[in-house]
Each structure stands twice: as structure tokens, then as C-alpha cells.
Chain A
């Protein structure tokens, strides 16, 4: 077991430093790059916070849907292949729900301010 602070706490500390202390000092194209850098650190922080839980639920759904076991990567590859072959489609019970849940979890990390995501989130579950 590694010591603390956790990667989440460390990444967040760097992001906060860049945002509060460095951003006011920088202008022009470098300011744009700095904003991208801060966005990346925020994304990494969200992923470190959420990935474990969302991967576990994704694997659980994929096992039920595919009737097989494997890592989240293996199971995704298997699902992609079955859809490509036409063995699984939107008429398959659970597929639409699975894709929606998985995609919402991805957006929560990648782009939580994306308008389509916010709209779907407001529908509630």
C-alpha cells in the first residue's frame, strides 16, 4: 500500500495551484495552453475518483449481457464484435440500458459540462 496523500489529492493540489496562482500571471496563447493543462488535471482527478466504481458496474452489466467473464477491456471488445456481427442489437434486452449507463459514466469524466450530457442527466434515473 502506498502512502498518502492519494493521487487524487495530489493532482487536485497541482490543478488548484495552476488555476489560482499561475493563471493570473499568463496571457495569450500560453494562457490557452494553461487552461487545457488545468482541464486535463481536472479530468484525471475525476477519473481517479470515479473509474473504480464505474468499471465495476460496467463489468457486471457486460457479464450479464454476454454470459462470459473477463476484464473491462476484454468484455468491451467482445461486445463490439457481437454488435458488428449483428448477434446483439438494440432489440437485445439490456443493451440500450448498458450503453446509456456506460456512456453517461464516460461523459461524467470526459466532459461533464457537455450540453447533451447535462440534458440526459436532468432526465434522472
Chain B
């Protein structure tokens, strides 16, 4: 059982720890798992989260930064005051837990629909768009000389990679072709400034409490690039969960997001944000196609994955709303 290995691990780095209780797997793909558990301690239990690749799954997917980089980024963010869980321990090979890290568990909600509907978050919701702007500004300001090695991508390279992914699906979609043409025609070129980009900053990867944003999760797609990419991605309609008139995660307006970002001393380029929103919408659509392919080819033959293939059309209507809006 994983609790035995975790108990041995915590005894080494958590002073006074007497063991581990309540280990439960929260999510798990083939190569990466998230577990929650409590560290038993004389001062009271300490909530913790394990993120790991089990033994034998060392290789990260090409776009992912890897768990070691993720741990380093989260710790850096935590130290800089960007809401992020504190990293408690990076796994070592002799612990027999695979590769990954253990972090402090931040209480709150990540399920987007609950955050957007439940009374508990009613007071936080109107504040979130602006707050997200401020947090992204802090994230984009993390010191580059302390960052782990990360891939670096310009807008042009991102378009080419996306096009390659799309063509490999052999899934001709006129709306996606139109979006690719639009992206090429509106390629903003290299950004004036290259910063850390979170890469998956959206409703669903944020821990929200009654008081607002508590932690930014899932740093695995972090890279170096145009900071406006994060502002565009957080506005993709797929992350508004029905609240389509509130572009920022279903919480609020672009104006509030931009105001929060600029109040923290950084500048917004709205045209670049729009470019990345279109790119993000297409990216999610192509990812839906990728899930369909994995369903067909067998590694994950689940009904859920099959149905995600049928969500690509959601991104088609959203792309049309962005690129060929009808009426007023």
C-alpha cells in the first residue's frame, strides 16, 4: 500500500510526523497520478497532496515540463507570493514512490461549475476576474534566472505545431482550416518580452475559496513565451462553463482582467490576447480530436473519452462566433 511508502518518506523530512492516513487517489492517467493524504502529527494532521509518475513512467509527454520542473515552479511562485501550494518534498528514487513531489493541500474548490453556481462563492465571483489579472502579472514577473529549463515557443511555432497536430488526425474540418488561416494572417510575431507562461491557467486549475483565488495548480504546461498567451487562454469559451458573457472563466470581463493586470504594473496587448484566445479555442478543439484518436486506438477506450471527441463542435461554434460573428 502507498501509505507505507508515504509514512517512510514523511518520517524523513517532516519533523514529528508519526505516519500517514487517509491516502486516496484523486485522479490518475496512465503516466501521472494525484493522491491526497494526511500526515499524522502531534500538533494535528497536515493535509498533503502527492503528484507523481509511478515507477516505469519516467517520460513526460512532449509539451509537458515534467514533475521536477513543476515542483520548482510552484515553489518559486509560492516564495514570490503568487498563490500556489508550498512544495514540501521532492521524491527521491530510494523512497520507492516513483518521481514527483509532495505539496501542502490547499482547501477550496476546483470544480468550475460549483464555483460558478454555489452560494459559497457568490461573494468571491465578482472579484475573480480582476484578481486573476493581478496573479498572472505576478506569475509573469517570476525571476527568469531561477526558472528550470523550459521549452520556448513563439506564436509562429505554436501555429505550426497546432497545424501538425491537426493534420496528423486526418480529420478535415473546414472551420479549423479557417481558424488556422486566420491565425497565420494575424500572427503577431515575436513578443516584445518573453516571460514564464503558465500554459494552462483556467477555471478548473484554480483552487477557489469564499475569499477568492487560493492557489494556481497544474504547472505542467509551463513554458517561456508571450505572456499574453495566459490572458487569452483564461478567456477561451470552453472554460466559461455556460457563463458565456463573462469571458474570464465565467467570472467577469476582459476589462476587469486587464485592469487587474495593469494595476500590478504590467501592460496588456488586447490584440495579442485575442490572437491567443482564438489559438486556445482551436487548441482545445484539436485536443478533443486527440482524445477521440486515443479512444479509437485503444489505450483509453472509455465512454468519457469517446464523448470528448463529440465536443470539438463546441469549439467550432466558438471559433465562428470569434471569426465570423452573425448579426448584432
A interface, CB within 8 angstroms of B: 33, 36-37, 39-40, 43, 76-77, 79-81, 83-84, 86, 89-90, 96, 99-100, 102-104, 106-107, 110-111, 114-117, 119-120, 123
Contact = CB atoms under 8 A, between A and B. Distances in A.
Contacts of A115: 240, 242-244
Nearest to B243: A115
B324 interface: yes
> Secondary structure at chain B's binding surface: helix, strand, loop or mixed?
helix
A111 B313 contact: yes
Nearest to A37: B303
B307 A120 contact: no
Contact of B174 (A33, A36, A40, A99): A99
A110 B311 contact: yes
Contact of A114 (B176, B314, B324, B326): B314
A40 B307 contact: yes
14 contacts: A36-B304, A36-B307, A77-B172, A80-B177, A90-B324, A99-B175, A99-B320, A99-B324, A100-B320, A102-B174, A103-B316, A111-B314, A116-B237, A117-B314
A89 B175 CA distance: 11
A84 B324 contact: no
A86 B181 contact: yes
B310 A111 contact: yes
Interface of B: 172-178, 180-181, 237, 240, 242-244, 303-304, 306-307, 310-311, 313-314, 316-318, 320-321, 323-324, 326-327
B177 A103 contact: no
Q: A-B pairs with the 6 shortest C-beta distances?
A: A80-B172, A83-B177, A106-B313, A115-B242, A77-B172, A96-B324
A40 B313 contact: no
A33 B304 CA distance: 8
B181 A39 contact: no
Contacts of B303: 33, 36-37, 40
Given A80-B172, A80-B174, A83-B178, A110 B314 contact: yes
Contacts of A86: 181
A120 B175 contact: no
Nearest to B180: A84
Contact of B314 (A37, A102, A107): A107
Contacts of B320: 96, 99-100, 103
Contacts of A80: 172-174, 176-177
Nearest to A36: B303
B177 A39 contact: no
A106 B316 contact: yes
Contacts of B326: 100, 120, 123
A119 B320 CA distance: 13
Contacts of A77: 172
B317 A84 contact: no
Contacts of A100: 320, 324, 326
Contact of B244 (A96, A99, A103, A119): A119
A36 B320 CA distance: 27
Given A36-B303, A36-B307, 13 more contacts: A33-B303, A40-B303, A43-B307, A76-B174, A83-B178, A83-B181, A89-B181, A99-B174, A100-B320, A103-B175, A103-B316, A107-B317, A115-B244
Contact of A103 (B172, B181, B240, B313): B313
A84 B321 CA distance: 20
Nearest to B175: A99
Given A100-B324, A115-B242, A116-B244, A79 B174 contact: yes
A37 to B, nearest CB: 6
